[in-house]
Amino acid sequence: MTTMESLIGLVNRIQRACTVLGDYGGDNNTFSSLWEALPSVAVVGGQSSGKSSVLESIVGRDFLPRGSGIVTRRPLVLQLHKTEDGQQEYAEFLHLPKRRFTDFAAVRKEISDETDRLTGKTKQISPVPIHLSIYSPNVVNLTLIDLPGLTKVAVEGQPESIVQDIENMVRSYVEKPNCIILAISPANQDIATSDAIKLARDVDPSGERTFGVLTKLDLMDKGTNALDVLEGRSYRLQHPWVGIVNRSQADINKNVDMIVARRKSVNILQPVPTTDIWPQLESVIRARIPSITSLINKSIDELESEMDHLGRPIAIDAGAQLYTILELCRAFDRIFKEHLDGGRPGGDKIYGVFDNQLPAALRKLPFDRHLSLQNVRKIVSEADGYQPHLIAPEQGYRRLIEGALNYFMGPAEASVDAVHFHLKDLVRKSIGETQELRRFPTLQAEIAAAANASLEKFRDEGKKTVIRLVDMEASYLTVDFFRRLPQEVEKSGNPAAAASTVDRYTEGHFRRIASNVSSYIGMVSETLKSTIPKAVVYCQVKEAKQSLLNYFYTQIGKKEAKQLSQLLDEDPALMERRQQCAKRLELYKSARDEIDS
């Protein structure tokens, strides 16, 4: 194979790589930029100018839809791949990647059907290309773009803008400086009216990248000839004009083999200028090699990054699968801890429970109602029974304090529940943020279930602990606090106050009891405001950091290989994406190696 053939084959493979995942056109990404940087050959001509015959002559197969009026209604990106002699010819569509066509009549039908799927059975056009690859020993490595035929008037069923729409679409391809134009003009029309030549002159005034092809030479009027055009006297291009004879309608109707028709064309004039295009292609390719290499390297870097994001294929042996699962769990656990420790947002909400929610709940407790004068009198009197207290109503104090302490149960348990809610939310967020887990929905669900089960256990332990804290305050009152009460009465030295102690049931006496109990409850509230957060952190947060998935680890080690495989059951769409990405990466690396060599 010559250097020229190698270069053109290389570009063809890169273009194929660009279309593996639809990287032709569209978004302004690296892969689209790589496609734009590659040289291409666009086939341009008016409607019924013989474009289809030219392409079929190049391919050596009858595979394009035919008819009157506008037949090509979407761009056709045709990639030709030369195979070894004797190998069967076949075709593949990008939108049907797993189907191989050996019947080229079926290829023609699929082009029509795929066009209709997007445009409907109308005469509308669409800029979305159809990608077709043909593998044959009778072709050269080349990528051609067949574009809708230029027209001058809109026919019935077409919008008035169709003329400009088609021209704009064709221009978007041929105005690129790396696009070689195959300008098709019928010989039975005046070259001065050629739509293809007019457009080519606009975008390529020097004619350096335009190849003129004169078709339908056998249909010229008697007494006329095409020598002025073919010899460049009517319109000069940098490259020689080529004249061909299309298959006659009789040949088409008789299904005359394209190879036979191609030989007939050669005997009359010249073949379609595929080899003449090569030097121009080589020149364009050599000029673009540095930028192509740069874009290929960038594409490879992005594909490597995407492969890392998608994850590498999973091993099939149980030991490797178990290792993968454990690594995924550790990745999740690491992100969960980052949320708690402040590396990611979320842990601050737990502090908010202790700093805002708990103090606010304690302030709202109904101690005013519990220590109202009426309720204090009632509880103290009931505690005294038939014999009034002598000095201080100890039983009354105890009942008032115990009743008040019961109110602390609600805020204590609410703090546990609030922290539990935030921990569950962090589990959900951490699973979603663990990139490696996204490809395994079943494992995600299992980890979430195991983590939430552990959090439920930690919550139960947390509630038991905070309830114990409240119970401990009720089980043993701080004696020093109450020992000060009689001394304060004695030190007052107020005769009126001393006289009031004679009657233990005056209003002032009950107010003083309520005040004393309120002070004691305030002291306990400050204590619980500090101890409840400690208990919650110890029982829930610390345990979540240290042993969130411990039980899951013990269970996963007992699973059989089939069960491990089920946990690593990937989304089929993601698996397909990875396979396509890997294929494209392989093609780009191969292209880079060829350029380097």
- C-alpha span between 43 and 54 (Å, rounded): 9
488 pLDDT band, cuts 50/70/90, is very low
Strand, coil or helix: 97: strand
Give the Cβ contact number of residue 475 at 10 Å. Answer: 10
- C-alpha span between 239 and 90 (Å, rounded): 33
In terms of average pLDDT, the best of 57-71, 137-151, 421-435, 490-504 is: 421-435
pTM higher than the cut 0.75: no
Please report the pLDDT score of residue 470 as a whole number. Answer: 94
- Is the model's pLDDT at 93 over the cut of 90? yes
The answer to whether 144 and 272 have CB atoms below 8 angstroms apart is no
Q: How far, in Å, are 301, 491, 596 from residue 397 at the CA level? A: 77, 22, 93
Q: Strand (E) positions, 7-68?
A: 40-45
Is the model more confident about 31 or about 374?
374
- Is the model's pLDDT at 330 over the cut of 60? yes
AA letter at 467 = I
Please report the pLDDT score of residue 534 as a whole number. Answer: 96
Question: For residue range 239-270, what is the model confidence (pLDDT) as tens digits?
Answer: 888 888 766 555 555 566 655 655 555 444 44
In terms of average pLDDT, the best of 309-318, 381-390, 411-420 is: 411-420
- C-alpha span between 34 and 153 (Å, rounded): 36
Q: What is the mean pLDDT of the chain?
A: 82
Phi/psi of residue 37, each to 5°? -75, -20
Please report the pLDDT score of residue 97 as a whole number. Answer: 82
Helix (H) and strand (E) counts in the chain: 25, 9
Average of per-residue pLDDT across 461-479:
93
- Is the model's pLDDT at 67 over the cut of 50? yes
AA letter at 506 = T
- Is the model's pLDDT at 28 over the cut of 50? no
In terms of DSSP H, where are the helices of 205-273? 227-230, 249-253, 258-268
Q: Is the dihedral of CA 518, 522, 525, 531 positive or negative?
A: negative
24 pLDDT band, cuts 50/70/90, is very low
Q: Which of 172-176, 310-314, 462-466, 587-591 has the lowest mean pLDDT?
A: 310-314
Helix, strand, coil percent content, the chain, rounded in steps of 5: 60, 10, 30
Q: Which residues of 328-343 are buried (b: 16+ CB within 10 A; e: fewer)?
A: bbebbbebbbbbbeee
Strand partners, 92: 133
Average of per-residue pLDDT across 89-114:
92
Question: For residue range 211-237, what is the model confidence (pLDDT) as tens digits?
Answer: 888 888 877 766 667 777 887 788 888
Average of per-residue pLDDT across 288-310:
83
The answer to whether 235 and 229 have CB atoms below 8 angstroms apart is yes
Average of per-residue pLDDT across 379-394:
73
- C-alpha span between 14 and 26 (Å, rounded): 17
Question: For residue range 340-349, what is the model confidence (pLDDT) as tens digits?
Answer: 998 888 889 9
Contacts of 287 (CB under 8 A, 6+ apart): none
Strand partners, 45: 184
Phi/psi of residue 477, each to 5°? -80, 150
Kindly give the interhelix angle for 274-310 and 30-37, rounded to the nearest 10 degrees: 170
Q: Which two tokens stand for residue 297?
A: 């390297």
- C-alpha span between 508 and 528 (Å, rounded): 30
Strand, coil or helix: 180: strand
In terms of DSSP H, where are the helices of 311-346? 318-341
Strands 242-243 and 210-215: parallel
Q: Which two tokens stand for residue 140?
A: 């050269």
Average of per-residue pLDDT across 413-439:
94
385 pLDDT band, cuts 50/70/90, is confident
Percentage of the chain beyond pLDDT 70 is 81
- C-alpha span between 225 and 352 (Å, rounded): 92
Kindly give the interhelix angle for 507-536 and 409-433, rounded to the nearest 10 degrees: 20
The answer to whether 73 and 124 have CB atoms below 8 angstroms apart is yes
- Is the model's pLDDT at 111 over the cut of 90? yes
Contacts of 497 (CB under 8 A, 6+ apart): 489
34 pLDDT band, cuts 50/70/90, is low
AA letter at 526 = E
- Is the model's pLDDT at 89 over the cut of 70? yes
Please report the pLDDT score of residue 16 as a whole number. Answer: 65
Phi/psi of residue 242, each to 5°? -125, 130
Is the model more confident about 16 or about 74?
74
Please report the pLDDT score of residue 498 as a whole number. Answer: 46
Residue with tokens 């060829």: 594
Please report the pLDDT score of residue 502 as a whole number. Answer: 43
Contacts of 151 (CB under 8 A, 6+ apart): 46, 47, 70, 162, 163, 166, 195
Q: Which two tokens stand for residue 540?
A: 């829930």
Contacts of 129 (CB under 8 A, 6+ apart): 24, 25, 74, 75, 76, 77, 145
Please report the pLDDT score of residue 3 as a whole number. Answer: 59
- Is the model's pLDDT at 285 over the cut of 50? yes
Q: Which of 66-70, 294-298, 319-323, 413-417 has the lowest mean pLDDT?
A: 66-70
25 pLDDT band, cuts 50/70/90, is very low
What's the chain's length in residues? 597
Please report the pLDDT score of residue 381 as a whole number. Answer: 80
Give the Cβ contact number of residue 302 at 10 Å. Answer: 15
DSSP secondary structure letters along 383-433: HHTTS--SSS-HHHHHHHHHHHHHTTHHHHHHHHHHHHHHHHHHHHHHHHH
Taking CA 416 as the corner, what is the angle to CA 546 and CA 397, rounded to the nearest 5 degrees?
130
- Is the model's pLDDT at 23 over the cut of 70? no
Q: Is the dihedral of CA 574, 578, 581, 583 positive or negative?
A: negative
Phi/psi of residue 432, each to 5°? -65, -30
Please report the pLDDT score of residue 337 as a whole number. Answer: 94
Please report the pLDDT score of residue 349 as a whole number. Answer: 93
Please report the pLDDT score of residue 255 as a whole number. Answer: 61
